[in-house]
Amino acid sequence: MTTTQQHALRAQLWRRKPVTRATRESSEGLQRSLGTFSLMMFGVGATVGTGVFFVMHQAVPDAGPAVLVSFLLAGIAAGLSALSYAEMASAVPVSGSTYSYAYATLGEVVAVGVAACLLLEYGVSTAAVSVGWSGYLNQLLDNVLGVTVPHVLSAGPFDADPGVINLPAVVLVAMCAVLLIRGASESARANAVMVVVKLAVLGLFVAVAFTAFDADRFADFAPYGAAGVTAAAGTIFFTFIGLDAVSTAGDEVRDPQRSMPRAILGALAIVTTIYLLVAVAALGAQPWERFADAEQAEAGLARLLQEVLQQSWPGTVLSAGAVVSIFSVTLVTLYGQTRILFAIGRDGLLPRAFARVDPRTRTPVTNTVIVSCVVGLLAGFVPLDDLWDLVSIGTLVAFIVVSVGVIVLRRSRPDLPRGFRVPGYPVTPVLAIAACLYILAGLPWKTYAWFLLWLAVALTFYLVWGRHHSLLNRAVKAGLPVEGVHDR
């Protein structure tokens, strides 16, 4: 490769998508129909569910009662990052979340790497959460009707206790896809109703669990020390994906400069409060060692309530709430995945089909069908229990990039209108980066190995195909100004 070619390649890798007035106002065919409340419910809907219905039984065995500190640590890191998200969302209010922010601040190759992180975290978490839906659905069916979905149809072929297919998980993904195809506003209304239901059910859990509260169960508070707390925080962190999910909706928000910062910070406050209340109540209601029991692997919180009261009705109510809650999580994370792919396709780094919008529903139908098929196959056939940390590493990297992006954009575009500014700048984004790096340090080496392999695949695709089809690349070759290229 000649020196000229090297310079040309370097220019391609680090070129940035300009943030123009047209970019900020164009929704590329999507309908601007969402307000602050709908967005906030998106954040809560994508977050509350995984953290309390699943991760408690993954994280408590790592940290013991000190998992409360893990939740707090993850919440602080997410909170600091949420401030950066709020500023970026008000300055670059378009679909694509961290991918779009990285493209505008750090360059095309970094944006592709961040896109790989986002696709990993959204795809794996959506499939894994839908798999967990089967357990609570079976618990509900057993309590109400005395029947369950046969094991052969509720477990994948590669699970520890294999079946043929996890059919409920596939059905859940299909139902969410149908709702998303109908329209963003319809999905937002359905999600808001489900969020209200899940918060009411979790309030019931806290009230019932506190009737069996015993402070002595916190006596051995940190049995595995700081290492256990950090490991649990790493497992928990992916549940804060809901904050990122809010920022994927930039092209469908009526007043994104004002609504998105408010929705992100409001969702964070609700989520952190719920997490801590449920964690305290659950840890006080049974010995922390019980969270590792095999019988609590499915529908664990519902079983906990049934054991506390020795009655089935609280577990039935909680199982019903979990069925609704996990539907909400799956709906929003699937939505986020499709909007990120929409933004990547719009920029030419993926085939244009991913950015095609149906003129009647104003939604990316082809994109949604492709994503749903892939996620449905993962949910139905692939065991994903060991991939929570892989989702967390993607989320942490995305949060770090947003905080770095705030610093870069303050320097490169100080004139850009911002509906929200990070308080305590530049200390706050630096602290957010440090907190995320601290949690990253507690993740196991195999998580990094899988993550780097996935990143290598994504960057190879970009070098071979994406950089040549990028809209910025086409504009440069045609001698056009890159500003407003998406509106041509």
The tens digit of pLDDT for each residue in 345-359 reads 989 999 999 999 888
Percent pLDDT > 90 in the chain is 19
Are the beta carbons of 259 and 37 closer than 8 angstroms? no
Domain limits of the chain?
A: 35-443
Measured between alpha carbons, how far is 282 from 87 in angstroms, rounded to an integer? 35
Is the pLDDT at 223 greater than 70? The verdict is yes
In three-state secondary structure terms, 154 is: strand
37-41, 125-129, 457-461, 480-484: which has the highest mean pLDDT?
457-461
Are the beta carbons of 205 and 318 closer than 8 angstroms? yes
The reported pLDDT for the residue numbered 111 is 93
- Least trusted range by pLDDT, from 18-22, 66-70, 100-104: 18-22
Is the pLDDT at 221 greater than 60? The verdict is yes
Is the pLDDT at 472 greater than 70? The verdict is yes
Measured between alpha carbons, how far is 334 from 128 in angstroms, rounded to an integer? 12
Instruction: Tell which residue, 359, 276, 316, 15, has the closest CA to residue 138.
Output: 316
Please give the structure tokens belonging to residue 456.
């290598």
Is the pLDDT at 3 greater than 90? The verdict is no
Is the pLDDT at 488 greater than 70? The verdict is no
Helix then strand then coil, in percent of the chain rounded to 5, is: 75, 0, 25
Measured between alpha carbons, how far is 182 from 125 in angstroms, rounded to an integer? 23
The reported pLDDT for the residue numbered 20 is 61
The reported pLDDT for the residue numbered 115 is 92
The tens digit of pLDDT for each residue in 267-324 reads 888 888 888 888 898 888 888 888 777 665 555 677 777 777 677 777 678 778 878 8
370 class by beta-carbon count within 10 Å (0-12 exposed, 13-18 middle, 19+ buried): middle
Are the beta carbons of 49 and 278 closer than 8 angstroms? no
Question: pLDDT confidence of 28, banded at 50, 70, 90?
Answer: low
- Least trusted range by pLDDT, from 57-66, 139-148, 291-300, 479-488: 479-488
Are the beta carbons of 71 and 279 closer than 8 angstroms? yes
The reported pLDDT for the residue numbered 54 is 67
Find residue 253's DSSP bridge partners: 34
Is the pLDDT at 254 greater than 80? The verdict is no
> Number of C-alpha atoms within 13 angstroms, CB side, residue 414?
1
The tens digit of pLDDT for each residue in 329-341 reads 888 889 889 989 9
Rounded to two decimals, the pTM is: 0.83
Are the beta carbons of 399 and 264 closer than 8 angstroms? no
Instruction: Tell which residue, 388, 446, 336, 443, has the closest CA to residue 132.
Output: 388
Question: For 325-352, b where at least 16 C-beta lie within 10 A, e where not — what string?
Answer: bbbbbbbbbbbbbbbbbbbbbbbbbbee
Instruction: Tell which residue, 272, 263, 220, has the closest CA to residue 244.
Output: 263
Measured between alpha carbons, how far is 317 from 305 in angstroms, rounded to an integer? 10
Q: Residue 448 to residues 74, 139, 233: CA-CA distances in angstroms? A: 19, 35, 16
Please give the structure tokens belonging to residue 48.
């509350």
The reported pLDDT for the residue numbered 486 is 46
* Residue 462 DSSP class: I
Is the pLDDT at 176 greater than 90? The verdict is yes
Is the pLDDT at 483 greater than 60? The verdict is no
* 274 compared with 93, residue with greater pLDDT: 274
Q: What is the DSSP string of 226-288?
A: HHHHHHHHHHHHGGGHHHHHHHTTGGGBSSHHHHHHHHHHHHHHHHHHHHHHHHHHHHHHS-G
Average pLDDT on 391-405 reads 86
Average pLDDT on 413-431 reads 88
Please give the structure tokens belonging to residue 338.
């499709």
The reported pLDDT for the residue numbered 72 is 87
Q: Would you mind telling me the total number of residues written for the chain in this entry? A: 488
Measured between alpha carbons, how far is 83 from 35 in angstroms, rounded to an integer? 19
Neighbouring C-beta atoms of residue 161, cutoff 10 Å: 6
In three-state secondary structure terms, 381 is: helix
Measured between alpha carbons, how far is 445 from 482 in angstroms, rounded to an integer? 41
Helix (H) or strand (E) holding 72: helix 67-91
Please give the structure tokens belonging to residue 277.
């209340």
Average pLDDT on 82-94 reads 82
Q: The domain 35-443: what is its CATH number?
A: 1.20.1740.10
Instruction: Tell which residue, 62, 176, 199, has the closest CA to residue 130.
Output: 176
Measured between alpha carbons, how far is 341 from 334 in angstroms, rounded to an integer? 11
Neighbouring C-beta atoms of residue 7, cutoff 10 Å: 10
In three-state secondary structure terms, 157 is: coil
Question: pLDDT confidence of 404, banded at 50, 70, 90?
Answer: very high
* 178 compared with 362, residue with greater pLDDT: 178
- Least trusted range by pLDDT, from 50-64, 85-99, 266-280, 295-309: 295-309
The reported pLDDT for the residue numbered 35 is 79
Is the pLDDT at 485 greater than 70? The verdict is no
* 409 compared with 443, residue with greater pLDDT: 409
Average pLDDT on 405-411 reads 92
Average pLDDT, the chain: 82
Q: Residue 145 to residues 137, 138, 151, 271: CA-CA distances in angstroms? A: 11, 10, 17, 33
Helices (H), 97-183: 98-105, 108-145, 167-182
Instruction: Tell which residue, 343, 383, 357, 437, has the closest CA to residue 114.
Output: 343
Are the beta carbons of 391 and 70 closer than 8 angstroms? no
Question: pLDDT confidence of 465, banded at 50, 70, 90?
Answer: very high
Are the beta carbons of 131 and 379 closer than 8 angstroms? yes
Is the pLDDT at 59 greater than 90? The verdict is no
